Amino acid sequence: MILPIVQAGDPVLRERARPLSLDEIRSPEIQRLIEDMKETMRAAPGVGLAAPQVGLGLQLAVIEDAPEYHANATAQELEERKRDVVPFHVIINPTITLLPGPTIEFFEGCLSVDGWIALVARAPGVRVDALDERGQDVRIEVHGWHARILQHEIDHLHGTLCVDRMDPRTLSSHGNYSKFWRGRSTGEVRAGLHAPGKAR
């Protein structure tokens, strides 16, 4: 079932989500929720969806960067973003460690801030310890776009939106991003929007 995605302004997006017990994770209700979230994410379409985005304050997110999502990106864009196919996976009760290195800025959007996109600085890599959909321990250590997705979704579980981390001068509608900024370097975007560079 496709679930409604709540939008910025809904209090559930600003609350810290609660952890799930092993019994809850293995329950028919949570297993059904995971399937519904997968279907909702794919229908949107998006590369990640956290439970607060469907109105539930639970430490649960689904992630997938499918090959078809890369179809409209150039080889240069995929390389710059270090973006590879990410198979579907589930993270529950995650803890995140940001790996060292200078932050990297790219345009980032959110299904709960529908229609808008902005430059967001993220750590280049992460290590995430979590439970999967069976309640088994998993450790994910990745760099590039997958790391960005994980940071974005785990932020949702702490009541943080990408607009809290964005450079507000770079906020753009999706239409204007495609018209003016797609394919431009961060420096060109900043010059065009008269946005000062962020300290690294």
Tokens of 120: 């967001």
- Of the listed 64, 108, 133, 153, which one is catalytic? 153
Question: Active site includes 153?
Answer: yes
- The dihedral over CA atoms of 179, 180, 181, 183, expressed in degrees to the nearest 10, equals 70
Other CB atoms within a 10 A radius of the CB of residue 115 amount to 11
Distance, CA of 123 to CA of 62 (rounded, Å)? 20
Which residues does the annotation mark as catalytic? Answer: 153
